[in-house]
Amino acid sequence: MPINLLRTLIPQLKSYVSTTDISLQSQALSLFALLLQLSPKSTFLEVEREVLEDVYGIAYSPLTSGAALDSVLTFFGALVEADFQIATHVVSSLTRGTPEKPKDVSYPNVAKCVAQVVKSNHALAAGVIAEFSKNLKVGLRVAMFLRLTAFPETFGSTGPLYCSSDPWGDWSFYVRLVSTKEVDDC
Amino acid sequence: MLTPVLLKTLGEKHPRVASEAFKAFSALLGALKPVRGQDWVESVYEEAIARLANHATDAEVRSCAEDIVGDLWLNAPETVHAKGGQEWEYVCRTSGRTDGAVKVVTRVAREADVTETWVNGCVEWATKLLTKSGRTGKAEVFECLTVLLLRSVLSTGVALVVIGHSSLSTDMTTACRSTCYAL
């Protein structure tokens, strides 16, 4: 893609990255993901500088679900694959930069985004799991479902360490807020 | 036998007659694909250009003329390639109704043999459409942009990752694979 075309296109797409219109936002994020796949070098810097902060906001939003969430995940996957070095930064921004009001944050969304980043950069898996394990006692009890089948090279195991019936889908790494009773049942 | 009568009706003032004539030629182009060395193709092209260039053209006739430009690109490529692409200057306008044009560009980008210059020109045009106020037709513009960007893969062959993308037609997927294997 010619660079001048990208410089015109990216600001226009950016204006759709908001929760005002979820459907168009989803399409805009899918296009960003496509641009990151097609022209990673020329798109990455622009996206990191102009769009990434807004996407964090969308990832936190409880309004983001279904196809819109899929496009957020595709975006994060493409972003990390465009430049692996950003993966750690994305994980820390997703988990530490949450809004002040906890009710405004969809933790399942954040967890899925972290999972997607780890999927796109397996080298992060051990570090991210260790980081999340430290925060298990904050506020609500947190249950971590670690499905290790995707990371045998990291953990030397092909079987799941801890596996639920997994009604949430096939996530390699999943953090979910649950009630104390549910954790005990697990 | 058939085409002289149809060609005459293409120039009719009555919009219903003209638009039905365009539709008949669309069907004919599809049935005779690939169309080569036929005089009537030239006439259909000229009439479509005349209709598109005229701002007073009825909306239905304009829509049919836009469709036939797409049909010509898909079914009579040799004729239109020789024209230098002037038809797109009339199809790709940024004012008025643009939904038909977006559909035609998407279809041509998905199925026809196009150049990188054409793709870049259409991306520029579609980007301008995103600046228009209102939500109407925006989803289609995004779809159009997706197809155009995927189309750029065919000329560069850089993105193996996009093979199997839902917006790719079967032909494009095959072409992508061929390009990538050739590398």
Q: Give the gap in angstroms from C-alpha B121 to the nearest C-alpha of chain A.
A: 9
- Cβ partners under 8 Å of residue B14, min gap 6: none
Considering only CB atoms, which chain A residues are within 8 Å of B159? 37-38
Question: What pLDDT is stored for residue A125 in this prediction?
Answer: 86
pLDDT at B128 over 50: yes
Considering only CB atoms, which chain A residues are within 8 Å of B145? 9, 31
Is pLDDT larger for residue A172 or for residue A92? A92
Which of A27-36, A81-90, A134-143, B120-129 shows the lowest mean pLDDT across its residues?
Answer: A134-143
User: What is the chain B residue with the closest CA to A20?
Assistant: B135
Size of interface A-B (CB pairs under 8 A): 53
Which of A135-149, B2-16, B34-48, B104-118 shows the lowest mean pLDDT across its residues?
Answer: A135-149
pLDDT in tens, A103-120: 778 888 988 999 999 999
Is pLDDT larger for residue A138 or for residue A70? A70
Helix (H) or strand (E) holding A144: strand A142-146
Cβ–Cβ of B143/A8 closer than 8 Å?
Answer: no
DSSP-assigned states of every residue in A6-58: HHHHHHHHHTT-STTSHHHHHHHHHHHHHHHHHSHHHHHHHHHHHTHHHHHHH
Amino acid at A107: Y
pLDDT in tens, A145-179: 444 334 444 444 333 333 333 434 444 344 444 43
Whether ipTM tops 0.90, in short, is no
pTM beyond 0.80: the answer is no
Question: What is the rounded CA–CA span in Å between residue B148 and residue A158?
Answer: 42
Q: Give the gap in angstroms from C-alpha A90 to the nearest C-alpha of chain B.
A: 22
Question: What pLDDT is stored for residue A92 in this prediction?
Answer: 87
pLDDT at B6 over 90: no
Which of A18-27, A136-145, B4-13, B35-44 shows the lowest mean pLDDT across its residues?
Answer: A136-145
Considering only CB atoms, which chain A residues are within 8 Å of B158? 38
Amino acid at B25: F
Mutate to test the interface with B, among A37, A43, A71, A120 (most CBs of B within 10 A): A37
Considering only CB atoms, which chain B residues are within 8 Å of A24? 135, 138-139, 142
User: What is the chain B residue with the closest CA to A30?
Assistant: B146
Q: Give the gap in angstroms from C-alpha B24 to the nearest C-alpha of chain A.
A: 35
DSSP-assigned states of every residue in A145-178: EE-GGG-HHHHS-SS-SS----TT---SEEEEE-
Question: Could you say which of A12, A21, A37 has the minimum Cβ distance to residue B127?
Answer: A12
Rg (CA), chain B: 17
Question: Could you say which of B135, B159, B161 has the minimum Cβ distance to residue A21?
Answer: B135
> How many structural domains compose chain A?
1
3-state DSSP helix/strand/coil % of chain A, to nearest 5: 65, 5, 30
